[in-house]
Chains A and B, each alone.
Chain A
Amino acid sequence: MRRKSKAVRYNKWGYIFLLPFITVYVVFQLIPMFTTIYNSFFENYMSGLTQVGPNFVGLDNYKSLFVQGDIWVYTKNTLVLWILCFVPQIILSLLLGAWFSDTRLHLKGQRFFKTVIYLPNLIMASAFSMLFFTLFSDGGPINSLLMQIGFISEPYKFLSNAGSARGLIAFMNCLMWFGNTTILLMAGMMGIDTSLFEASEVDGATSTQVFFRITLPLLKPILIYVMITSLIGGLQLFDVPQILTNGTGDPMRSTMTLIMFLNKHLFSKNYGMAGALSVLLFIITAALSLVIFKVTGNDKRKG
């Protein structure tokens, strides 16, 4: 009996090797996701040491989220922070990527620079935020420096003004992630057929023309991928503003992101409200993922 099946029964190993992923996925992703949705329909929190609920309340948690209306403010904050971070980041990365992958420029020490620009990403976000918190505090080194060169006469409260606080957060995120984006874009650029560049060179195209007419259009799928992943990451922005503003989202919650708002509900272990908020976030993220599916799918058909 064994002899018979030996020839064809290799496929079971395929399933066995899939098992680790499936198990981890089900236990850590799928089950929590469904319990989150389930929890969002209940009133369920701790008041001191007393458990309130769980009582089924239907869509009340969602209703109160929308009635308070703050969720739109936090969504706006999150998106503003993302745009402030993403625009400079993509420009910087495109520029660096184009330089690094340009065979005519043939930059020296590429390996060194590629490592250096990736380094900020290796620092823990919390450590990075603490560093910036100290640097930009009212009596910190940046203020002393600016006062010494006579640029300002009074310390500027970086973390007490919406503009500078948001700017700082965007700047830190940009600094942390542009190396990663550069490497992704560079990979995309190096994948472009060099004969195209050579042909354009023969035709006498300037490097600006090459960049806008050849590199950029052919880079579109990678660009879209970078944009969507960055957007999803941006929606989940948490660690940097949380630590920089000590969880308050000051000034006046102008730096409060959606996940920081979610975190606020953890104090009372308010699983109902936190669940409802998570489900909303999930819907937004899922919609965006659908977009990337559509776009990359279209691209394949053309190719």
Chain B
Amino acid sequence: MKKKLLSVLLSAAMISGIIAGCGNNATTPADTSTAQTDAAADDTQTPEPAADAAADDTSADAAADDTADAPAADEGKVLNIYCWNEEFKTRITDHYPDYTEVDATHGTIGDVSVVWNITPNDDNAYQNNLDATLLKQADAAADDKIDMFLIEADYALKYVDTDYTMPVADLGITDADLSKQYQYTKDVVTDSNGVLKGLSWQGCPGVMFYSRDVAKEVFGTDDPAEIQNYVKDWDTFNETAATLKDAGYSIMSSVNDSYRVYSNNVSSKWVTDGVINIDDNIMKWVDDSKELVDAGATGTHDLWSDDWSKGFYPEGKVFAYFGPAWLVNFSMAADTEGSIGYNGGWGATEGPQGFFWGGTWICAATGTDNAGLIKDIMLKMTTDDDIMTDIVVKDDDFVNNSTVMDALASGEKKVQREGETEEHEYTSKILGGQNPLQMYINGVAGLDLSNLSSYDQGCNEEFQHAMKNYFEGNATKEEALDLFYKSVVEKYPELTY
């Protein structure tokens, strides 16, 4: 009998092990029941594996579904926000009046509890997660539905051009409310029928940041207005590249630096009627870049690679980077001793063409039960002058409010940061005391983003990857273009070329 008890125990342990292993698969319950009848000789043991399995199932479910963890006791008052980093959460925590932080992923606004679902962007994980949840949106319980989610410009239309995103007009936000916002921020999230479906609190107009020391050495001046003459259009820019090359400097770290400047100024979309289309300005980037690379005037590094970042320091021998305020403020090693930014060694000038880089848009998900709250958050964060001025002063963001930005640019509105004794004009230490805001504003005013398509993210990525082969001499232009078409069709099987 002892032997029998032992073997029953052993097999019970084993079966519960299996069931714990494969969670909620449909085949396992059948297996359990047959195994249980087999092992039923000693009936005191049998309920255990089943109970085990049940317990494991629920815990596995709960872990897999992060959205479901809000307490039900809150009368269905849950605001689920999907995003990929802490940025928006920090802005809400610091600037939204009624928000109280509970812990890293939870907060409250009045009696509504806010649940942050943060999935990092790497490997498309954020979009994959958001897609899966949005597709289940219609069947989800009211408290589990996504209420608000954030998107980036490169893939904005993928979401905006569907019914999963709510028109902001339906929330009760009028055009008059949005009159101070920059037009390009609205273009990005306007769907193919001309309906506005998202809002942003920030603008990310880009300029050209150049090293003042190199400018003095090569051109004899570091005055932004004079430097602008050397880079005022692409032809002049390329001539300047040759001058800099002779002096031992690269005009920019990599050809990919200027990609956005060209690609934001296109006159046609990446895809028209299901056919892939390459805009003339993008082909101009290819030709200009090939010449620069062949002349040895710049490199072919990927953005964010170590080689690309070398130019943040004087030893990198890079003249300029293209980027918005956040690049120079937060991403160019400005707080590392010895870097150009640390010594206030960058200058800002408009460069050949206006462009933008980055930015986050807030969308309301269809089916939300918190429309009123979302409207309030959108209005406060993206249109309220006081809150937005506060964001500029505290976080160095460029906000999406022309009144606020114009006042700061002209010096009409003074700022006083923590630890400073008196108010002063907005200036940037990293830029050697320059006030770059007017340049950002000029850059953003001329932007026309009516030519976005929902395939932009894949097309931009694959185009740069494919062209790298051409620049480095591993393929002819035609071969590289073929590779580009092939890669895009792999990503979007419905397209042709």
A interface vs B, CB < 8 Å? 12-13, 16-17, 19-20, 23-24, 26-28, 31, 45-50, 52, 68, 70, 134, 137-140, 157, 160-162, 246, 248, 250-253, 264-265, 267-268, 270, 273
Q: Which residues of A contact B180 (CB under 8 A)?
A: none
Closest 5 CB pairs of A and B: A251-B474, A48-B158, A264-B490, A139-B307, A267-B491
| Distance A27 CA – B28 CA, assembled complex (angstroms) | 9
Q: Which residues of A contact B25 (CB under 8 A)?
A: 27
Q: Which residues of A contact B479 (CB under 8 A)?
A: 252
Indicate if B196 sits at the interface (CB-CB under 8 A): no
Q: Are A251 and B472 also in contact (CB < 8 A) when A264-B487, A264-B490 are?
A: yes
Nearest residue (CB) in B for A49 is B162
Nearest residue (CB) in B for A6 is B4
For the complex formed, measure the closest distance between the CB of A132 and the CB atoms of chain B, giving whole angstroms: 13
The reply to whether A23 and B22 contact each other, CB–CB distance below 8 Å, is: yes
Residue-wise, chain B 306-323 has the 8 Å CB interface mask toward A (1 for contact) of 110010000000000000
Extra contacts, 20 of them, besides A27-B25, A264-B491 (Cβ < 8 A), are: A16-B39, A20-B17, A23-B27, A24-B21, A48-B454, A49-B135, A49-B158, A52-B493, A138-B299, A138-B307, A140-B306, A160-B468, A160-B474, A161-B474, A162-B474, A251-B474, A252-B479, A264-B487, A267-B458, A273-B493
| Distance A17 CA – B454 CA, assembled complex (angstroms) | 53
The reply to whether A23 and B28 contact each other, CB–CB distance below 8 Å, is: yes
The reply to whether A24 and B18 contact each other, CB–CB distance below 8 Å, is: yes
The reply to whether A134 and B492 contact each other, CB–CB distance below 8 Å, is: no
Q: Which residues of B contact A138 (CB under 8 A)?
A: 299, 301, 307
Q: Which residues of A contact B11 (CB under 8 A)?
A: 13, 16-17
Q: Which residues of A contact B474 (CB under 8 A)?
A: 160-162, 250-252
Nearest residue (CB) in B for A15 is B38
Which of B14, B38, B468, B493 neighbours the largest number of chain A CB atoms within 10 Å of its CB?
A: B493
Indicate if B486 sits at the interface (CB-CB under 8 A): yes
Instruction: Report 22 cross-chain contacts, Cβ distance below 8 Å, ordered by A residue.
Output: A16-B14, A17-B14, A19-B15, A19-B18, A20-B18, A23-B18, A24-B18, A28-B22, A47-B494, A49-B159, A49-B164, A139-B306, A140-B306, A157-B472, A161-B474, A251-B472, A251-B474, A251-B475, A252-B474, A267-B491, A268-B490, A268-B491
Q: Which residues of A contact B469 (CB under 8 A)?
A: 250-252
Nearest residue (CB) in B for A154 is B296
| Size class of the contact patch on chain B | 35 or more
Q: Are A265 and B18 also in contact (CB < 8 A) when A19-B31, A48-B162, A157-B472 are?
A: no
The reply to whether A16 and B472 contact each other, CB–CB distance below 8 Å, is: no
| Distance A270 CA – B491 CA, assembled complex (angstroms) | 9
Majority secondary structure, B binding face? helix
| Distance A161 CA – B159 CA, assembled complex (angstroms) | 39
Q: Are A46 and B131 also in contact (CB < 8 A) when A16-B38, A139-B310 are?
A: yes
Partner of B27 from the list A27, A46, A248, A265 (CB cut-off 8 Å) is A27
Q: Which residues of A contact B171 (CB under 8 A)?
A: none
Nearest residue (CB) in A for B310 is A139
* B 451-468 contacts with A by CB, 8 A: 454, 458, 465, 468
B interface vs A, CB < 8 Å? 7, 11, 14-15, 17-18, 21-22, 25, 27-28, 31, 35, 38-39, 124, 131, 134-135, 158-159, 161-162, 164, 299-302, 305-307, 310, 454, 458, 465, 468-469, 472, 474-475, 479-480, 483, 486-487, 490-494
The reply to whether B492 and A268 contact each other, CB–CB distance below 8 Å, is: yes
For the complex formed, measure the closest distance between the CB of B364 and the CB atoms of chain A, giving whole angstroms: 16
Q: Which residues of A contact B22 (CB under 8 A)?
A: 23-24, 27-28
| Distance A48 CA – B494 CA, assembled complex (angstroms) | 11
Q: Which residues of B contact A50 (CB under 8 A)?
A: 162
| Distance A99 CA – B276 CA, assembled complex (angstroms) | 60
The total of interchain contacts (Cβ-Cβ below 8 angstroms) comes to 105
The reply to whether A16 and B35 contact each other, CB–CB distance below 8 Å, is: yes
| Distance A241 CA – B351 CA, assembled complex (angstroms) | 38
Q: Which residues of B contact A161 (CB under 8 A)?
A: 474
| Distance A264 CA – B486 CA, assembled complex (angstroms) | 11
The reply to whether B494 and A52 contact each other, CB–CB distance below 8 Å, is: yes
The reply to whether A268 and B18 contact each other, CB–CB distance below 8 Å, is: no
Q: Which residues of A contact B38 (CB under 8 A)?
A: 12, 16
The reply to whether B493 and A45 contact each other, CB–CB distance below 8 Å, is: yes
| Distance A50 CA – B494 CA, assembled complex (angstroms) | 11
| Distance A46 CA – B472 CA, assembled complex (angstroms) | 34
Q: Which residues of B contact A12 (CB under 8 A)?
A: 38
| Distance A28 CA – B299 CA, assembled complex (angstroms) | 47
Which of A16, A20, A23, A49 neighbours the largest number of chain B CB atoms within 10 Å of its CB?
A: A49
Q: Are A160 and B135 also in contact (CB < 8 A) when A19-B15, A49-B158 are?
A: no
Nearest residue (CB) in A for B464 is A248
| Distance A17 CA – B39 CA, assembled complex (angstroms) | 12
Q: Which residues of B contact A16 (CB under 8 A)?
A: 11, 14, 35, 38-39
Q: Which residues of B contact A13 (CB under 8 A)?
A: 7, 11
For the complex formed, measure the closest distance between the CB of A27 and the CB atoms of chain B, giving whole angstroms: 6
Nearest residue (CB) in B for A253 is B483
Q: Which residues of A contact B158 (CB under 8 A)?
A: 48-49
Nearest residue (CB) in B for A46 is B131
Q: Which residues of B contact A273 (CB under 8 A)?
A: 493
For the complex formed, measure the closest distance between the CB of B169 and the CB atoms of chain A, giving whole angstroms: 21
For the complex formed, measure the closest distance between the CB of B138 and the CB atoms of chain A, giving whole angstroms: 12
The reply to whether B31 and A246 contact each other, CB–CB distance below 8 Å, is: no
Q: Which residues of A contact B492 (CB under 8 A)?
A: 47, 268
Which of A45, A253, A265 neighbours the largest number of chain B CB atoms within 10 Å of its CB?
A: A253
Q: Which residues of B contact A157 (CB under 8 A)?
A: 472
Q: Which residues of B contact A251 (CB under 8 A)?
A: 469, 472, 474-475
